[in-house]
Amino acid sequence: MSGAEGGADLLLLVASIVGLGVFSQLLSARFRVPSVLFLIVSGVAIGPEGLGVLTINSFGESGLSTIVGLSVAIIVFEGAFHLKIDKIKEAPSAVLRLTTIGAAIAFFGTAAAVHFFLGAHWDIALLIGALLIATGPTVITPILKVVPVRDRVAATLETEGIVNDVTAAILAVVLFKAMAVGEETLTTELYLQLFAERLGTGLLVGVVVAAVVWSVLQYVDLSPDNAPQNARLLTLAGAIVAFGTADYVFSEAGVAAAATAGLILGNAGLPYEEDIEAFKGDITLIVLSFVFITLAALLEFDQLFVLGLGGVAVVVAVMFVLRPLLVFLTTRGDRFTFRETLFMSFVGPRGIIPASVATLFAIRLQTGVAEGGAPPTNPAGADLLVGTVFLVILVSVVLEGGLARQIAEKLDVIPMRVLIIGGGRVGRSLAERLEARGENVVLIEEDLTVLKELRNDGFTARQGDGTDVEVLRESGAENAKTVVAATGDDDANLLVAQLAKSNFDVENVIARANQPSNASAFEDLGVQTISAAESTAWAIDNQIERPALSNWMSELGRSGDVQEIEITEEALVGKQIVDLGSELPNGVLIALVSRNGTSEVPTPDVELERGDHITLIGRSEAVREAIEQCGTPV
C-alpha cells in the first residue's frame, strides 16, 4: 500500500471514530445513559473482536501513546477546570478521606485480590491495584450529567475522580519504574523519591503554566475582535504545554501538571471564562470519544476469558466489597444519608487513566522497553495486566455507569432542588428541615461570615447576591423546583421572586414578607407569600390557645413529616380511604383529600380518583414508604 493510500485509510479511520463518538454522545443524551457505555460498545464493534477495522498497529506504537497522552491531558485539565473550590468545600472531610484512606484501601485491597485470586506476582498485582484506584472524571462526569444527585454527593465523586486520577497515574508509573530497578535495590525511600519527583514536578509545572496563562489573559491585549477565541486557544495550549513539559521531565508527571493548571485557572476568575468552558467542553467530548473508542478497540476477549473465575472474583471484590467498604469508612460523620452513601458505593466505575496506562505498560512489558531501564520481557504479565484492568473497566462501566440512573431512582437519591436565598436564621432553619427530608438544598448568602458558618455546619452554600441572575443560574435555578426568598429585605425578596418566575420559570416560588403591608405586592406576582409577623403571631396564638397542637407541630418538624401526593397508581383509583389506610405503613394517617380545588378531612367511605391530592402525616420514614406506594409527591 502506498503512503498516500495509507494516509487516506488513516484519515477515514479517524473520521469514523469521531463520527461514532458524536453518535454515542447523541445516544447518551437521548436515552439518559452515560456516554462511556456507548463508546466502549462502539470501540469493541470496530476492533479486532468486531469488524477488525482498528487494531493496535493502526496508529503505530508511539503514535498511540502520544495520542492517548495528549488526550488524557485535555480530559484531566477540563475536569479540574470545572472543579471549583466552593464545590470542594461542600464535602471537605469526605473528599480528604476518600482520596487518602479510601485510595489506600482500594490499592492494597485490589492488589491482594489479584494476587490471591489470579495467582499474580506481587509486582504485577500492585501495579494493577495502583491503576484501579482511579475512578476519574471521564466516567463520573457523564454519569452525573444524567443523574442529578445532591450537590455534595456530586462534589465528592467529582473531586475523588480528579485527585485519584493523578494518584493512580503517578503511583502506577512509580511501581512500573521500580520493577526496572531490581528487587535488591528497592527501598521505601526509592518509592517515595520516585513519587515525589513526579508529583512535585507536576505541581510546579502546573503552577507556572497557570500563572503564565493567567498573566497573559489579564494583562495582554488579545485584540478586542478575537479576544474570546484567543483566550480559548491560549487556555487549551496551556493544558497541552503543562502536560508535555512535565511529562518530558518525568513520565506521567504530566497528569499532575494538567490537573494543577486546570484547578488553578478554573478558580482564577479568567476573562471569557464561559467561552473557555464551552470550547473545552466540546473539545473534551471529541477527545474522550476518540480515546475510549480507540482503547476499547484494542481489547481482545481472549485476555478476559483466560482470567476465568479468578477474574470474576477480582471484579466482585473491587466493586462489591472494597468500594462499599472504603466509602462507608471514609464518609462516616458527614451529612450524607445512608441511601447517598449506598449510591456512592455503587458508583465507582474505572475510566480512561487505567485503560490508557495499562495499554502503555502492556506494550512495554511485551517489548521489554521502559524508561531508564528494561524489565524482563513479560508477555504473560502484560496479558494479565490488560485483561484484569479492562475486565474491571467493562463490568463497572456497564453496571455502574449504564444503570446509574436506575440505581439512583431505586435508592431515591435524585432529590428536588430547592434554592433558599438568605442564609440567616429563617433560611438556615428551613434548610435543616428540608435536608432532613432528603431534599437537595442550596443556600445563597452574600455575607462571608455567615457563608463560612453554613459551610462549616455541612450545608451546601454559594456566595453571591441572590438578586443577580448569573448567581441564580450558577446555583441551579434552571433545574430548581422551588425557590424561597428568605432574606430580611423585602425589596430583595420581591426581585428574587420576579427573577425566579420570569427568567427561570420555577414551578414553586415562596417569599418571606417582613412587612405585612408588602404581602400584596408579592401576591400580585402570583408568589406564595409568608408574612413573618403573621406567622409569628399565629405560632404564639397556638402556644397560648392550643399548646398540645403547637407542641405536636414542633415534634413533627423534628421526627415526622407531612407530604402531599397525587394519586397516579391505577391500582389505587376507586379505593376507599378505609381500604388504603389499612395498607399504609404503621403510623401514617390520611389527613386531607383535595379534589377540584377543595380540600376536606375524608370520611372512611370516600373513593379516590385519579389526580386526587392526599395529605399524609406520620413518621418521616413511614411517610416516605407511603409515598412510594401511593403516587407522586406534589
In tens, the pLDDT along 491-527 reads 888 888 888 888 888 888 888 888 877 777 777 777 8
- pLDDT at site 33: 67
Question: Which of 236-240, 284-288, 419-423, 545-549 is predicted with the least confidence, judged by mean pLDDT?
Answer: 545-549
Give the count of alpha carbons within 13 A of 202, CB side only.
29
Strand partners of residue 593? 600, 614
- CA separation for the pair 375, 178 (Å, rounded): 9
**Best-predicted range by mean pLDDT (87-91, 117-121, 175-179, 275-279):** 117-121
Distance CA 401, CA 350 (A): 10
Nearest Cα residue to 173 out of 378, 318, 372, 376: 372
Q: Which of the two residues, 620 and 374, has the higher pLDDT score?
A: 620
Mean pLDDT check: name the lowest of 156-165, 514-523, 531-540. 531-540
Which has more pLDDT, 116 or 274? 116
**Stated pTM of the model:** 0.68
Of 49-53, 294-298, 445-449, where does mean pLDDT reach its minimum?
294-298
pLDDT above 90 covers a percentage of the chain that reads: 10
Backbone torsions φ then ψ of 485, nearest 5 degrees: -95, 105
The SS3 call for residue 609 is coil
SS3 379: helix
Q: Mean pLDDT lowest for which of 167-181, 546-560, 620-634?
A: 546-560
Q: Is the pLDDT of residue 196 over 70?
A: yes
% residues pLDDT > 70 (the chain): 85
Retrieve residue 257's grid coordinates: 501538571
Q: Which domains does the chain have, with CATH numbers?
A: 2-397+406-411 (1.20.1530.20), 417-536 (3.40.50.720), 559-630 (3.30.70.1450)
Mean pLDDT of 153-171: 82
Instruction: Please choose, from the candidates 276, 288, 413, the residue with its C-alpha nearest in 3D space to the C-alpha of residue 28.
Output: 288
CA distance 420 to 400: 32
User: Higher pLDDT residue, 195 or 545?
Assistant: 195
d(CA 351, CA 389): 10
Q: What is the pLDDT averaged over residues 458-475?
A: 85
Computed on alpha carbons and rounded to an integer, the radius of gyration of the chain in Å comes to: 28
Spatial separation of the C-alpha atoms in residues 23 and 30, rounded to whole Å: 10
Least confident span in 39-43, 232-236, 310-314: 39-43
pLDDT at 376: 46
CA-based nearest residue to 158, from 168, 172, 143, 177: 143
Rounded mean pLDDT of the chain?
79
Q: In whole angstroms, give the CA distance from residue 607 to residue 602.
A: 9
- Least confidently predicted of 371-385, 424-438, 468-482, 550-564: 371-385
Model confidence at 4: pLDDT above 60: no
Decide: 494 and 515 in contact? Cβ < 8 Å: no
pLDDT of residue 113: 94
The whole-number pLDDT of residue 546 equals 67
**Averaged pLDDT, 552-562:** 65
CA triplet 609, 610, 611: central angle to 5 degrees?
110
